[in-house]
Structure 1
């Protein structure tokens, strides 16, 4: 693990244990793999006629880790599963409100995971991740407070904070605009100053390239920290273009799951697909971020 010491530039001058270099490639860009899906993974397995019991989920997560982690700059996993400590290991500490077959509609901090972060660090964890559902439903203040607490918990523990706001329309919100909501979410949650901000791809990566880049430039100008894109909401075959456009607009890479490993769900044996097609897709994404992404050091220095 690429441990180092730095002074916390967000105030107080307290040292923390690790920098974003623990999650990035040597050039400061990111192509990280997300394997922290829970109910969503059960649904996807069942939809493809695959077993979705705990043993099957454990086996699939382990196979993804074995074949994709060696090419990634970081790896995100949820509690209760083994994962390699190289590359940088991110632990999800969010409790999800989600009905089977449906989207996550809300989240809370999983306080059980926060009780012994020293043990998590001993297992190789270098970062924690919190998903925040951001919508105009009257709960914004609670969610902002949760994000602030999360960042402070990470800082105190000497762990990196990865904040993942996902914008959604509130019930009966007829004027919802995805791109404007993504920017508004960055305006609201960026000031919590997580180490890394994870955002949706504007326009789901579809449509006019210049417009997508311009929206990404707005996100970059809004956020005081480096940011990466997720893949949920982007069609699998559209994801390489989406990553390139986001990076052109100032993103530092990606932290993605479904766009990388879902082809393996379609096979009777996922391992050969993970070892070939999925690895090739991750290598393609890594090449894109190496070529187009803004290194996290430049993002920190700019803001």
Structure 2
């Protein structure tokens, strides 16, 4: 296995996993994406930072605290959710370091850090784990590219802080590329991006579902023993459960789910959110927990 975990990182890894060792994280670091599903009569723009923070607090209370870990952002959710005692003591905190949106340079996408957020800041916010997102096109970017250097630098900075880093990779369609061309390239783009991240020192990966069992096998081979979790990418819950079952049966180590769990549960008031998160989202989380255990059962067989 490449990129072995240190003792500190191994301890952090265990905190974001179920007792059987499968990653299971509720993703709630979205900002604009979360506003878009809150059903405000005047639209997402009318939702204030305070209202979004309240929604995130309810999401933690009624959903995140039922998972091993939750991913939150330092722009809206933190440190208030920790300081106010909303986050349960048995739920690990993963801190998202990436700012909303991206910049485009020569047709390639680049994410940015939330201003002022460093590995030390993650520790100060109470985080056990950090997460950073990068957009990658391995047909245009290699080990000498800007994105590869950014991954290496943050991996090294987190290692100095004794902090486990989850490297999230997304791929995307280039300008002038047809949907058909992108769809055909997508599985290899995901696998090749996983290989690039691992070569840059990544120890845990968060990746899109690569489309098929064969695609998952290719990602697992490219990860070279580095654990990877499949992300929900906004698909509906039933679709994601199927993807997770396939991914973990073909080498994935778990799942990180956001909108598939809560996108139809974030109403504008706490009573509505409490009801929907309890009645809709909690059963989905329980089903997701069962789905990631396929990995353990397959290994035992």
TM-score range, shorter chain: 0.7 to 0.9
Residues 1:34 and 2:20 are matched in the alignment: no
CA contact (8 A) 1:16 1:155 kept: no
Quote the Cα distance in structure 2 between the aligned partners of 1:285 and 1:183: 24
TM-score normalised over the length of structure 2? 0.81
Residues 1:190 and 2:198 are matched in the alignment: yes
Q: CA RMSD in A?
A: 2.7
2:177 to 170, 173, 177: 173
CA contact (8 A) 1:36 1:76 kept: yes
Quote the Cα distance in structure 2 between the aligned partners of 1:146 and 1:294: 34
* Superimposed CA distance per residue, residues 35-88 of structure 1 (whole angstroms, 9 cap, x where no aligned partner): 000122223335775752111110111111011122212110000422525311
TM-score normalised over the length of structure 1? 0.80
Partner of 1:216: 216
Name the SS for the 1:158 alignment partner. coil
Structure 2: any 5+ residue segments left out of the alignment? none
Partner of 2:149: 145
Quote the Cα distance in structure 1 between the aligned partners of 2:47 and 2:247: 34
Quote the Cα distance in structure 2 between the aligned partners of 1:69 and 1:233: 18
How many residues get paired? 272
* Superimposed CA distance per residue, residues 259-284 of structure 1 (whole angstroms, 9 cap, x where no aligned partner): 01112136862220101210000001
Name the SS for the 1:161 alignment partner. strand
Name the SS for the 2:176 alignment partner. coil
Name the SS for the 2:20 alignment partner. coil
* Superimposed CA distance per residue, residues 140-161 of structure 1 (whole angstroms, 9 cap, x where no aligned partner): 6111111111111111111111
Name the SS for the 1:135 alignment partner. coil
Name the SS for the 1:170 alignment partner. coil
Structure 1: any 5+ residue segments left out of the alignment? 1-8, 204-211, 299-303
Cα gap change, 1:287 to 1:70, in 2 (>3 Å): same
Cα gap change, 1:147 to 1:111, in 2 (>3 Å): farther
Moved more, 139-148 or 46-55: 46-55
Partner of 2:239: 238
CA contact (8 A) 2:216 2:250 kept: yes
Looking at both structures, which has the greater relative contact order when contacts are Cα pairs under 8 Å and sequence separation is at least 6?
2
Residues 1:78 and 2:61 are matched in the alignment: no
CA contact (8 A) 1:46 1:52 kept: no
Residues 1:161 and 2:165 are matched in the alignment: yes
